Amino acid sequence: MSRYRGPRFKKIRRLGVLPGLTGKRPRVGNDLRTQPRSGKKSQYRIRLEEKQKLRFHYGLTERQLLKYVRIAGKAKGSTGQILLQLIEMRLDNILFRLGMASTIPQARQLVNHRHILVNGRIVDIPSYRCKPRDIITAKDEQKSRALIQNYLYSSTHEELPKHLTLHPIQYKGLVNRIIESQFIGLKINELLVVEYYSRQA
């Protein structure tokens, strides 16, 4: 299944606020006319919606998400927590959390178009897994810096999570450590996602 490129408000109405997917918010009234259906949701639907929330917020394909679930399942510790850490440490998400891009799709585009350096080298793979002590900078070109400057100034992000440090004047971000669970950017029950995939097997 490929990456979702359809109407973003449609997903927000169904799944709730997904800041990684779009910075826009539905207006009260017309944009919220599609309310969730009344009645009790099945357990399968609850798990599916949590999985879809995770997928659309981070802009993952079904195959990518399944791969992360399998990696997390083989690691020591809580599968759900490790799954979220793996996804949060992706380069496209780190750029979004630093405020260098206003959404994760914009961050992915910056990486794909080779505007981003990690430790002084161009990285054009959005799924690149950042590690502690990685230094993320804009390419030393006017176009790259102008794009990121626009995002930094228009950014309405909350307080920067503790695992990251931003130096906006230098267009530089630092990864201090692996993200802790309280700083995950999405309110989600990750255990339901793991359960969804365990029941598919």
Which range, of 120-129, 132-141, 150-159, 161-170, averages the lowest pLDDT?
A: 150-159
Q: Where are the beta strands (DSSP E) in the chain?
A: 116-118, 121-122, 135-138, 164-167, 172-175
pLDDT at residue 103 in the model: 86
What percentage of residues in the chain have a pLDDT greater than 70?
78
* Phi, psi at 166, each rounded to 5°: -115, 135
What is the mean pLDDT of the segment spanning 23-52?
Answer: 67
Residue 33 has pLDDT above 90, yes or no: no
What is the spatial distance between Cα 13 and Cα 82, in angstroms, rounded to a whole number?
A: 28
More confident residue, 150 or 192: 192
The closest of 116, 114, 96, 113 to 105, measured between CA atoms, is 96
What is the spatial distance between Cα 88 and Cα 185, in angstroms, rounded to a whole number?
A: 8
Domains and CATH numbers, the chain: 8-86+186-200 (1.10.1050.10), 90-177 (3.10.290.10)
pLDDT at residue 14 in the model: 58
- Answer whether 102's CB lies under 8 Å from 149's CB: no
Residue 34 has pLDDT above 50, yes or no: no
* Phi, psi at 9, each rounded to 5°: -60, -30
Tokens of 192: 């339901």
Average confidence score pLDDT of the chain:
82
Strand 164-167 relative to strand 172-175: parallel, antiparallel, unpaired?
A: antiparallel
Residue 8 has pLDDT above 70, yes or no: no
Strand partners, 137: 117, 172
Which range, of 87-101, 103-117, 154-168, averages the lowest pLDDT?
A: 154-168
For the chain, the distance separating the N- and C-terminal CA atoms, rounded to the nearest angstrom, is 17
- Quote the pTM value: 0.81
Residue 128 has pLDDT above 50, yes or no: yes
Residue 194 has pLDDT above 60, yes or no: yes
